[in-house]
């Protein structure tokens, strides 16, 4: 009887199996990556809204507790938020729309406000109720800040 010599190496099945596993891992990474990036941009937007709240507090301190007048959003960005440096994570400039609360608009999530165009809504005499802007329980000098996030609804913060 002849002894068969044993050959070392991988079989085609082993190679295909390793390639299939590597392909699955790459697929999972490419599926998860956009959601992770969207989440990071929304986190930056939340941080930017905190900067807006701080700027409004500074404005109120410098102006006897008053909120900026309607139409003064650009000057608030220029003077208190660094002007051209205050931009959305996607590179577009933020716009601050200052307005008084109007019960006819509703302000429910996307209702009443034109979300999605890099506009930060500063609504006077309003508070947040989850993602909604409302006047329920609002004080004379209260305000709510609302901004549409890319991945998860609307960000709403108030000074209550």
Name the token pair of 73: 């959003």
Which of 160, 120, 118 is CA-nearest to residue 143?
Answer: 160
- 129 is written with which tokens? 């109720």
pTM of the model: 0.74
Whole-number CA gyration radius for the chain: 26
List the chain pLDDT tens, one digit each, 160 residues. 555 667 788 899 999 999 999 999 999 988 888 888 888 999 999 999 999 999 988 888 888 888 888 777 888 888 888 877 888 888 888 888 888 887 666 554 444 555 567 888 888 888 888 888 888 777 777 888 988 888 778 888 888 7
Comparing C-alpha atoms, which of 66, 138, 71 is closest to residue 99? Answer: 71
């Amino acid at each position: 009887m002849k002894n068969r010599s044993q050959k070392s190496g991988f079989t085609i099945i082993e190679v295909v199996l390793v390639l299939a596993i590597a392909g699955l891992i790459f697929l999972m990474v490419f599926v998860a990556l956009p959601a992770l990036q969207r989440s990071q941009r929304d986190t930056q937007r939340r941080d930017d809204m905190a900067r807006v709240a701080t700027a409004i507090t500074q404005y109120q301190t410098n102006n006897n507790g008053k909120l900026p007048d309607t139409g003064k959003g650009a000057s608030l960005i220029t003077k208190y938020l660094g002007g051209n440096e205050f931009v959305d994570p996607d590179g577009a400039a933020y716009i601050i729309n200052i307005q008084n609360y109007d019960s006819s608009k509703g302000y429910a999530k996307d209702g009443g406000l034109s979300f999605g165009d890099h506009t930060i809504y500063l609504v006077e005499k309003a508070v947040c109720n989850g993602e909604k802007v409302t006047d329920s329980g609002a004080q004379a000098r209260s305000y709510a800040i609302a901004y549409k996030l890319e991945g998860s609804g609307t960000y709403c913060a108030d000074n209550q």
